[in-house]
């Protein structure tokens, strides 16, 4: 079975059940982001790789990067869900890059009130734009995982393909700003380029070049929101060889141009600075 690789451009995401329509249910997929949710009410059945969990009210479930997962509703859920790119917490890159929980579910997380306090603060900060929003969000994510990780039993992942995918994804994450190619991966990781291509097409359901471009566009989005660098410089820093390639890849993934994205999502003072240039 092909497992779709979910290509997320946003660095973080928050959702709850306020609209009374959107449950946790989702089909099998994986992504480089970390996904976790706290259950206030109801019950959910969650599959993470080959493990099955029944998540109860008061539990917290955490899915580390590049693990196949899907959610099923058992009883009507009330929840708070977050998705975050590991780059938001570079201090923990050694954890997310090389380890994974043996048990993805933190039972009775409600016995650790600091977790829910930080999650509520994080949700509120994500929904309230301010000049300090990005810094506050990164700090809250870091504080939350600082309390969450000691409650998880972490270990090295097993399985030849899973290990290879993790190695490949980690290498791409660290080197996407350079001239990244299948040949470069083959030399650096001592894996056949054909095997690497096979993993992308048959395990992740995405072409290698499209995956690398998704990392570059995600980085460009961050720079567009957080800096006043020119569009040309951002494209170059994110790993694109030409401005034309940058614009084409950005439009394909985001549905708007880099300049349109900046006007829509960057703080007002950044847009003002760029207008003066």
How many angstroms separate the first and last alpha carbons of the chain? 51
Domain residue spans in the chain? Answer: 12-155, 160-276
Backbone angles phi, psi at 197, to 5 degrees: -60, -40
Give the single-character DSSP code of 17.
Answer: S
| CATH tag for 160-276 (out of 1.10.10.10, 3.20.20.70, 1.10.10.60, 3.40.50.720) | 1.10.10.60
Q: pLDDT tens, 58-99?
A: 999 999 987 888 999 999 999 999 999 998 999 998 898 778
Per-residue model confidence (pLDDT) at position 1: 47
Dig out the tokens for 254 from the structure: 């985001």
Separation of alpha carbons 126 and 3, rounded Å: 29
Q: How confident is the model at residue 170 (pLDDT cuts 50, 70, 90)?
A: confident
Q: Are strands 34-48 and 51-56 parallel, antiparallel or unpaired?
A: antiparallel
Q: How confident is the model at residue 233 (pLDDT cuts 50, 70, 90)?
A: very high
Give the position of tokens 């040949």: 183
Per-residue model confidence (pLDDT) at position 21: 59
Of the candidates 166, 29, 46, the residue with the CA atom closest to the CA atom of residue 99: 166
Measured from the Cβ of residue 258, the count of other Cβ atoms closer than 10 Å reads: 24
Model confidence, pTM: 0.70
Q: pLDDT tens, 115-131?
A: 999 999 999 999 998 88
| CATH tag for 12-155 (out of 2.60.120.620, 2.60.120.280, 3.20.20.80, 3.40.50.300) | 2.60.120.280
Per-residue model confidence (pLDDT) at position 98: 77
Comparing 252 with 17, which gets the higher pLDDT? 252
Backbone angles phi, psi at 65, to 5 degrees: -60, 145
Per-residue model confidence (pLDDT) at position 207: 87
Q: pLDDT tens, 100-115?
A: 898 999 999 999 999 9
Backbone angles phi, psi at 12, to 5 degrees: -155, 165
In contact, 110 and 58? CB cutoff 8 Å: yes
Bridge partners for 34 per DSSP: 84
Q: Where are the alpha helices (DSSP H) in 101-190?
A: 113-126, 133-148, 160-175, 182-189
Dig out the tokens for 195 from the structure: 């095997």
Indicate if the pLDDT at residue 276 is higher than 60: no
Measured from the Cβ of residue 217, the count of other Cβ atoms closer than 10 Å reads: 25
């Amino acid at each position: 079975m092909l497992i779709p690789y979910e290509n997320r451009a946003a660095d973080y995401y928050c959702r709850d059940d306020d609209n009374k329509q959107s449950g946790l249910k989702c089909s099998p997929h994986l992504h480089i982001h970390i996904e976790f949710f706290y259950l206030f009410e109801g019950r959910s059945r969650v599959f993470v790789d080959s493990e099955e969990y029944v998540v109860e009210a008061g539990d917290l479930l955490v899915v580390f990067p590049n693990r196949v997962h899907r959610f099923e509703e058992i009883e009507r859920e009330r929840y708070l869900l977050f998705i975050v790119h590991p780059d938001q917490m570079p201090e923990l890159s050694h954890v997310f890059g090389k380890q994974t929980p043996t048990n993805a579910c933190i039972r009775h997380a409600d016995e650790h009130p600091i977790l829910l306090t930080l999650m509520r603060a994080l949700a509120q900060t994500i929904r309230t734009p301010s000049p300090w929003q990005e810094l506050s969000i990164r700090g809250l994510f870091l504080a939350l995982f600082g309390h969450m990780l000691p409650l998880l039993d972490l270990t090295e992942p097993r399985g030849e393909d899973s290990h290879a995918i993790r190695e490949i994804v980690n290498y791409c994450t660290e080197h996407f700003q350079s001239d990244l190619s299948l040949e470069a991966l083959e030399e650096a990781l001592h894996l056949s380029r054909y095997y690497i291509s096979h993993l992308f097409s048959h395990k992740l359901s995405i072409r290698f070049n499209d995956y690398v471009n998704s990392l570059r566009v995600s980085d460009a989005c961050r720079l567009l929101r957080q800096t006043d660098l020119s569009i040309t410089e951002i494209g170059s820093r994110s790993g694109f060889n030409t401005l034309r390639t940058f614009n084409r890849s950005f439009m394909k993934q985001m549905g708007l141009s880099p300049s349109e994205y900046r006007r829509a999502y960057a703080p007002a003072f950044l847009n003002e600075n760029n207008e003066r240039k």
